[in-house]
Chain A
Amino acid sequence: MKVEIYIIKERCKGCGICVEVCQAKVLELSEELNSQGFRTPNVKNPEECLNCGMCEMFCSDFAIWVSIETEKVGV
């Protein structure tokens, strides 16, 4: 199963909830800062992702989401 993880770094506020709720330990907080000065999450090991959608559910800024069918995502 190939899961794509998308992150819009400019929307992120660096709260770290997505890193914490990820049971498969896919994400980590990176050292690089976005334009607002927040530490954004980084995809550490994308092969482990289970597509549970917890990071997407708890991101209150709509900055991260996961998807299997990459072509069907869109407006």
Chain B
Amino acid sequence: MKSIERYHPADSFLNTDSFPSVWCPGCGIGTAVYAFIESVREANIDLDKIAVISGIGCTGKIAECLKLNTYSVTDGSVVDYAVQLKEKDKDLTVAVFLNNADFLLSGAKDFIDAGKKGADLIVIYVNNFICAISENKIFPISPFMRMSIDNEFELPYNIPYLAKSCGANYVARWTPIHAGWMKYSIIEGILKKGFSVIEVVSPCLLYNANNGSIQDAVDRMRFYNDNSEIKVGEPAENLDLRSQNKVIIGKFVDSEEKEGRVQR
């Protein structure tokens, strides 16, 4: 068996000093990065004309591991930074990796603004159902009926519905086991004008451990496979993560640029 001498096909995109990566075995962030690299390669985008922006936390480490024009910016200003970067250079392809802290805790206003103005971004939102500073507290995307230590609970957001209602032209949702579909979704999102949102449902392995969640990576992948259902074109109202037995995945919105919208 040969190893080390040759290079991975994605190594020209990777900052190989940062490997082995910080993500846990079985985490969906690595799959999202793989799908993104493959989609950039298949869409034949000039590498000088692409920018990747990420925030904080595990998702923020994506900026460190890619050898592209990457920016790891502060909590809450990720989408705003991306919008202004796109405004400066219209030819740039701007990809944004978001997690819960960047999006729902402090950056939600920028996300809604960018969708309303039709900023030409692709947002890959890795939904891991946690926010590490609030392990024992309740936050907007807590899984349904998870109680805090004070027996409080909150209903989670419906992210594809939120994205659609604030004007996204392309909305999809996948799990890590659907890496091939995710790749083609990212290609479509990159090539589409307007705001594209792709949600990756990938619950954190570490912080959900107390709830009896699956820790083993292989069992986790089998769980994603058994508990997801592809329904392309499903109305976004039905995509709640609480009122369904299976996670509905697929491409939900694929519309053209709306007329009369102010392009930023």
A3 beta carbon closer than 8 Å to chain B: no
CA of A58 to CA of B175 in the docked complex: distance in angstroms? Answer: 12
B184 beta carbon closer than 8 Å to chain A: no
Partner among B7, B26, B177 whose Cβ is within 8 Å of the Cβ of A74: B7
CA of A48 to CA of B20 in the docked complex: distance in angstroms? Answer: 29
CB-CB under 8 A for A58 and B31, given A7-B1, A15-B25, A17-B26? yes
A5 beta carbon closer than 8 Å to chain B: yes
Distance from B211 Cβ to chain A, minimum over Cβ atoms (Å): 21
B4 beta carbon closer than 8 Å to chain A: yes
CB-CB under 8 A for A73 and B6, given A20-B218, A62-B11? yes
CB of A16 within 8 A of CB of B218, answer yes
CA of A16 to CA of B14 in the docked complex: distance in angstroms? Answer: 23
A28 beta carbon closer than 8 Å to chain B: no
CB of A65 within 8 A of CB of B1, answer no
CB-CB under 8 A for A62 and B8, given A5-B1, A6-B2, A17-B221? yes
Partner among A12, A13, A62 whose Cβ is within 8 Å of the Cβ of B10: A62
Instruction: List chain B residues, Cβ under 8 A from A12.
Output: 20
Partner among A7, A20, A58, A73 whose Cβ is within 8 Å of the Cβ of B3: A7
CA of A62 to CA of B7 in the docked complex: distance in angstroms? Answer: 10
Contact with A along B18-50 (1 / 0, CB 8 A): 011101111111110110000000000000000
CB of B20 within 8 A of CB of A75, answer no
A24 beta carbon closer than 8 Å to chain B: no
CA of A36 to CA of B12 in the docked complex: distance in angstroms? Answer: 25
How many chain A residues touch B (CB < 8 A): the figure is: 34
CB-CB under 8 A for A74 and B6, given A15-B218, A57-B180? yes
Question: Can you name the residue of chain A whose Cβ is closest to the Cβ of B24?
Answer: A13
B236 beta carbon closer than 8 Å to chain A: no
CB of A17 within 8 A of CB of B180, answer no
Distance from A62 Cβ to chain B, minimum over Cβ atoms (Å): 5
Chain B residues with a Cβ under 8 A of chain A? 1-4, 6-12, 14, 19-21, 23-31, 33-34, 176-177, 179-180, 217-218, 221
Given contacts A9-B3, A61-B30, 9 further A-B contacts (CB under 8 A): A7-B3, A10-B4, A11-B20, A17-B217, A42-B1, A57-B34, A57-B179, A61-B25, A73-B9
Chain A residues with a Cβ under 8 A of chain B? 4-17, 20-21, 36, 38, 42-43, 56-63, 65, 67, 70, 73-75
A selection of 13 A-B contacts at a CB cut-off of 8 Å is A6-B6, A8-B4, A10-B20, A11-B21, A36-B20, A57-B179, A59-B34, A60-B27, A60-B29, A60-B34, A60-B176, A63-B8, A74-B7
